[in-house]
Amino acid sequence: MRNKKIKTFYTDKQVCFDSIKEKSFSQSPLKPALLIEKIKNGPYSELLDITADFEPIAKEDFEIAHSKEYIENVFNKTGNYASNGLPWSENLAKSLPYTSGSLYAASKFAIENPDFLCFAPISGMHHARPTAGSGFCTFSGQVIAAVKIYEQYGKSCAYLDLDGHYGNSIEDTRRFNPLLNIAIPEGCNYNPSGRNESYLASFKTNLSDLATHILADRIHYVVFAHGADSHDQDDLGGSLNTENWVKCAEIFAEWVNEISIKKNQPLPVVLALFGGYRKDNYEAVLNLHIKSLISCSNIICGNNFEDKLEIAEKIR
Ligand SMILES: [Zn+2]
């Protein structure tokens, strides 16, 4: 039986409050705070059990996925520090060890306590490369967290990356750090494609492929990154209408339950945020993420939250 609340690894220290609202196309560095505040102060406050009790990753840990030169550039505002496409600030630099720290802590907790559904409210990772940032992503937190977990526990991970964009970080880092080939094996960074029905079919094919890896004990935990920019009203996305976007969370959650029964133990699961960029209505981005959390909580944790959230049509 799963714990009723989603164990959430969140601290204000993982948020960049400086210059994002005014100067950044991507609001993602601010999104964890906006989302957590909205959940805490609204009708779904019982969804999450939030802990800030986790460590930032050490500066050397960034070397798991990045060159020393690039890491120094980001922290010292030199060279290609702006390759992430975000306005640099000390606050941004200081938040980065905590975003990767949140994902690492959630992954570690999920492995040690598989009866908890875990949540790392993080974005801005899956386009980063060993020597540069890209597409609002600075460091490859998912590579760093997965390799650290592999080194510590010998456990391998799969990514179900439902962001609207292909998560290139993992493939782009395989040569830089070959340990990644065991931490997130080849073929286990899933990015469904297509639109609406064909997207759902692609996702289901991904899940049945992943099930074979899990049942063969090649994959031990899963990260579900339900990016809101795969929603068709997003400024940078557009594969799924609201019904089908939410359906992905339901399909995922039901699959988690099925695979847990087959394995006779709860599959360790970490939820993450990734993209979402609506300028006309950022509440819609937050509401999509909350809808996904509600579906996962109801189906995996056996809750009965009523999803009353509306996703407004985009003003074009
Ligand atoms: Zn994206």
- What residue spans define the domains of the chain? 6-301
120 sits in which H/E element: strand 118-120
Q: How far is the CA of 114 from the centre of ligand 1 (A)?
A: 28
Q: How far is the CA of 82 from the centre of ligand 1 (A)?
A: 18
Chain length of the chain: 316
Alpha helices in the chain (DSSP H): 20-23, 31-40, 68-76, 90-112, 141-153, 169-173, 180-183, 196-215, 242-263, 282-301
The reported pLDDT for the residue numbered 25 is: 85
The reported pLDDT for the residue numbered 42 is: 95
Residue with the two structure tokens 């979402």: 276
**Identity of residue 291:** K
**28, 275 Cβ separation under 8 angstroms:** yes
- Which residues, including other chains, have CB under 8 Å from residue 307's CB and lie 6 or more apart? 246, 291, 294, 295
Q: How far is the CA of 124 from the centre of ligand 1 (A)?
A: 9
The reported pLDDT for the residue numbered 196 is: 97
Q: How far is the CA of 249 from the centre of ligand 1 (A)?
A: 17
Q: How far is the CA of 137 from the centre of ligand 1 (A)?
A: 10
Q: How far is the CA of 221 from the centre of ligand 1 (A)?
A: 23
Output the six-digit token pair for 109.
């907790």
Q: How far is the CA of 47 from the centre of ligand 1 (A)?
A: 25
The reported pLDDT for the residue numbered 108 is: 98
The reported pLDDT for the residue numbered 27 is: 87
Q: How far is the CA of 261 from the centre of ligand 1 (A)?
A: 32
Can you tell me the distance from the alpha carbon of 293 to that of 291, in angstroms, rounded to the nearest whole number?
5
Can you tell me the distance from the alpha carbon of 65 to that of 284, in angstroms, rounded to the nearest whole number?
33
Q: How far is the CA of 206 from the centre of ligand 1 (A)?
A: 19
Please list the ranges in the chain whose pLDDT falls under 50. Answer: none
Give pTM, 2 decimals. Answer: 0.97
Architecture of the domain defined by 6-301: 3-Layer(aba) Sandwich (3.40)
Q: How far is the CA of 205 from the centre of ligand 1 (A)?
A: 21
Q: How far is the CA of 162 from the centre of ligand 1 (A)?
A: 9
